[in-house]
Amino acid sequence: MAYRVGVDIGGSFTDFALLDERNNRIHTLKVFSRPDCPGSEITAGLSQLQQRDGIDPAAISYFTHGTTVGINTVIQRKGVRLALFATDGFCDVLELARLKIPHIHDLFSCRPAPLISRDRVFPIRARLNRDGKVLHAVDRDSVLAAIAGARAAGCEGIVVALLHSYRNGSHEADVKQIIAQVAPELLTSCSAEIWPIIREYERTITATINAYVQPEVIEYLNAFERALREMGVPVPARMTKSNGGVMSVAQAKAECVQMVLSGTASGVMGASYIAQHCGFDKLLSLDIGGTSADVAVIIKGNAQYGSGEIIGDFPVWIPSVSVTSVGQGGGSIAWLDALGVLQVGPDSAGSQPGPVCFCRGGTQPTATDAFAACGLIGHGDLGYHAVRVDADGARQAIARLAEPLQISVEEAAETIIAQAISGMYSDTSGLLSRFGLDPREFFFLAFGGAGPMMGCFLARELNLKGVIVPLTPGVLSALGGLVSDVKNDFIRTLYGDLTTALVPRLLMESTALQRAGENWLRREHGADFPPVLSFSAEMRYRGQSFEIDVPLQADWLAHGDIVAMRRAFDAQHQRLFGHYDVDAPVQIINLRLIVSSPTPKPPLSTLALAESPVEVSAQTPAWIDGQFWSLSVIKRDSLRAGHQFNGPAMVTQDDCTTCVPPGMQVVVDNYGNLIITPVGGVPDGH
């Protein structure tokens, strides 16, 4: 008997999805997160699963875990105090960054302060040329002076990012060795070890974020491992990565930047899994938790990927699921600014004290309180009976905002909801524009504790096709970690014209990448995992200032088929930009490899067909769209395949509440998904 476990720790709740391998039954649970005592939520959850379902932690055969500790550290700027060791004459790399400003239409927009201020950047005398050839060896005295400066500045870690280290990392390694000899207490991150890409700023900022979160991540992971040992879990844990895969805890501690989007990527992987099995072609995953709303594009069951995703104020250039994060969630706090204008977020009530209606000490009204005050939640326990919603408490808190605005509590609550939806609308429409997508062709797959609660209201504004709510939406991110494959990325910078002269180097580098990928898989996860190798190249027309990622077949590289590579690039350029140039010379900047190995996936069960009409457990008044409506309360576990009903309605279940506004209809499909569309729309979702 063995169990496979996926866990996702969010700002408010920690979610568990556990697969019983004997019968493929999935057990789910939510407990409150404990940012004040990391690891205790793991102990609490496993203890509850043992007591409730008789699950022995000693029988766990696989344990994977996603967390937001990395991204939260960057967003809140609570990382370690760092020094940067840069090539002499190139110490302004973080200040210069790139020409883009955060908000191009804002006349007052300015660049964020760098994570390492200029007074903590120290020059290293050493020089490589652009081909990685040593021009001047590392000057030891300059390294010793930099270490002394870092200590005097109270730094706790060092980032080493030297010129052209993507070609030759020996100088960074020499500096790291000197630091280890003289100042072993200082954690050191070398840019060539973290992600060896061309362009100094991109490589430096990625290494900087790795070092910035590393102490916090290591402390967290140590507490996490202790909790597993105390509970008697016999297997080492794996961490979900920003690229949607999983890795060992040891790799996570060394390459913390790889898990900056850990929790976010888990949700997207869970949504992709649902899309693949249920046949949903065009989806936007909508993951709304206590702090933020995360939106990603999923086409034919495949998540879209990118690099340069913005984490807080900064881009991170590791491969990651392409996600837009919005600073509004269920726990986002509503407040009046100095001009008396109602605002929502970005501050969140989190898990402690949480929304007022959760009765955990919260005093400031949140988006969740607004839904409670409108009567849209609160007709069933939430969080697997961890929360009993106090709608009266929510109304009293919102009344303190309504009074100075001279409006009713219901109007104030609906304004809070509208404000939160407005913030989500702005960034989500930007994501659609970036990918050139027509919103009318897409459904939201809504999940997270607040996704089903808010999804229909946002879909109406975006003019989406509809909303899909999976069977266990509140714990889908935990399920995503459970189904994520073992996966890692490797890269080599070529920076050469795609001609026959490049063929020997293409063969050499692709062979080296394949060897590195297979060795990593064998070292990290044993020989039982069959490797799946996926090559691609970042290519451009000569003179362009950006590259596009082009999938390549392994036999093209093995046989030096540059004609096939050129055709693939032209086709990709045509698809993205509507044109290509057969006469322009093409360059390969980076050659990339993704090595992966699939993990077992639990099958999705189908629901029995409905044999009776939908059972409405209650009718209750609710304020929607400026008036009171009679709202049907329906229990999720009473629904069967083929059931249909119209809004306004509320679907209650252990992990969340789904709100269906007037003018929308619901059909339950064979897998138990709620397919919500405008009345008169086509509720197939396929």
* Contact present, 273 and 601 (Cβ < 8 Å): yes
Alpha-carbon distance values, 539 to 542, 551, 565, 591, 592 (Å): 9, 10, 10, 9, 11
Q: What is the pLDDT of residue 133?
A: 95
Cross-sheet strand order for the sheet of 246-248: 25-32, 13-20, 3-9, 60-67, 238-240, 246-248, 486-497, 586-597, 532-541, 548-552
- Is omega for the bond preceding 551 within 30 degrees of 0, making it cis? no
Picking from 360, 295, 370, 389, the residue whose alpha carbon sits closest to that of residue 332 is 370
pTM score, two decimals?
A: 0.85
Q: What is the pLDDT of residue 407?
A: 94
DSSP letters of 595-640? EEE----PPPPPPPBP-SPPPP-EEEEEEETTEEEEEEEEEGGG--
Picking from 247, 267, 252, 281, the residue whose alpha carbon sits closest to that of residue 321 is 267
* Contact present, 534 and 596 (Cβ < 8 Å): yes
DSSP letters of 240-281? E-TTS-EEEHHHHHH-GGGGTTHHHHHHHHHHHHHHHHHT--
Q: What is the pLDDT of residue 685?
A: 43
In 586-617, which positions are buried (b, 16+ CB within 10 angstroms) versus exposed (e)? bbbbbbbbbbbbebeebebeebeeeeeebeee
Pairing label, strands 157-161, 82-87: parallel
Block means of pLDDT (10 residues each) for the chain, length 686 residues? 83 83 83 79 89 89 87 84 97 89 73 93 96 95 97 97 96 97 95 92 95 91 90 90 89 89 88 91 89 87 82 84 78 89 83 84 91 88 72 93 93 94 85 82 92 94 94 89 90 93 94 93 73 93 92 94 96 90 94 90 86 92 94 94 94 91 95 92 52
* Contact present, 654 and 665 (Cβ < 8 Å): no
- Go through the domains of the chain in sequence order and give each one's CATH number: 77-216 (3.40.50), 488-596 (3.30.1490), 618-678 (no CATH)
* Contact present, 200 and 93 (Cβ < 8 Å): yes
In 536-547, which positions are buried (b, 16+ CB within 10 angstroms) versus exposed (e)? bbbbbbeeeeeb
Q: What is the pLDDT of residue 408?
A: 94
Q: What is the pLDDT of residue 681?
A: 65
- Both structure tokens of 43: 């102990």
Residue 190 bridge partners (DSSP): 160
Picking from 369, 328, 325, 362, the residue whose alpha carbon sits closest to that of residue 347 is 328
What separation, in Å, do the N-terminal and C-terminal C-alpha atoms of the chain show? Answer: 37
At 590, the amino acid letter reads: N
**How far is residue 620's CA from residue 629's CA, in Å, rounded to a whole number?**
8
- Both structure tokens of 445: 């797959």
Q: What is the pLDDT of residue 153?
A: 97
Q: What is the pLDDT of residue 11?
A: 67
Alpha-carbon distance values, 446 to 224, 290, 331, 462, 561 (Å): 29, 14, 17, 14, 44
Angle at 93 between CA 90 and CA 94, to 5 degrees: 150
Q: Give the residue carrying structure tokens 């008044």.
A: 621
In 449-477, which positions are buried (b, 16+ CB within 10 angstroms) versus exposed (e)? bbbbbbbbbbbbebebbbbbbbbbbbbbb
CB atoms within 10 A of CB 661: 20
Q: What is the pLDDT of residue 644?
A: 95
Tally of residues, the chain: 686
Angle at 438 between CA 465 and CA 285, to 5 degrees: 60
- Both structure tokens of 345: 């977020």
**How far is residue 362's CA from residue 528's CA, in Å, rounded to a whole number?**
50
